């Protein structure tokens, strides 16, 4: 069974930093493209970032480019999101999301971790 477990969320002040982690199990992590997707309270889904299975291809939403960095450690079956220069509007539940079995849609989701940016 595919399992994705996010951690690292919490309360941070504007301008601060936070690092999210996602522990993956139940599938071959090193063969899977991964994403971070977020959802602000009461709002819709916003794709944040993508990293290919080898880490050679990385993409970001314009809203986070230059502030967030996605990375992965295939030896540890782990995905990360380093978030710097955080803003109020970054407040959201952040989901770790695996690509689908047949394409780059999101086939599997974690339960999410809440990031709150507030002074």
Partner 1 sequence: DIVMTQSPDSLAVSLGERATINCKSSQSVLYNSNNKSYLAWYQQKPGQPPKVLIYWASTRESGVPDRFSGSGSGTDFTLTISSLQAEDVAVYYCQQYYSTIFTFGPGTKVDIK
Q: How far is the CB of 91 from partner 1 (least distance, A)?
A: 18
Q: How far is the CB of 75 from partner 1 (least distance, A)?
A: 26
CA nearest 114: which of 88, 89, 86, 95? 95
Tell me 9's DSSP state: -
Cα angle vertex 35, ends 115, 108, to 5°?
100
Q: Which is nearer to partner 1, 2 or 119 (CB)?
A: 2
Question: Which residues make up the interface to partner 1 (CB under 8 A)?
Answer: 35, 44-47, 50, 59, 61-62, 95, 100, 102-107, 109-112
Tell me 90's DSSP state: G
Q: Which is nearer to partner 1, 81 or 112 (CB)?
A: 112
Q: Which is nearer to partner 1, 83 or 97 (CB)?
A: 97
Q: How far is the CB of 99 from partner 1 (least distance, A)?
A: 9
**Where does 8-93 have alpha helices with state H?**
none
Strands 113-117 and 92-99: antiparallel
């Amino acid at each position: 069974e595919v399992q994705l477990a996010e951690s690292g969320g919490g309360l941070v002040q504007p301008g601060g930093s936070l690092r999210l982690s996602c522990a993956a199990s139940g599938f071959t992590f090193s063969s899977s493209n991964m994403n971070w997707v977020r959802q602000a309270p009461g709002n819709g889904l916003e794709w944040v970032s993508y990293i290919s299975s080898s880490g050679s291809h990385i993409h970001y939403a314009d809203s986070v480019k230059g502030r967030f960095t996605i990375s992965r450690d295939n030896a540890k079956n782990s995905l990360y999101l380093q978030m710097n220069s955080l803003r109020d509007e970054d407040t959201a539940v952040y989901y770790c999301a695996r690509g689908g079995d047949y394409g780059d849609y999101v086939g599997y989701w974690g339960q999410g971790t809440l990031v709150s940016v507030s002074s």
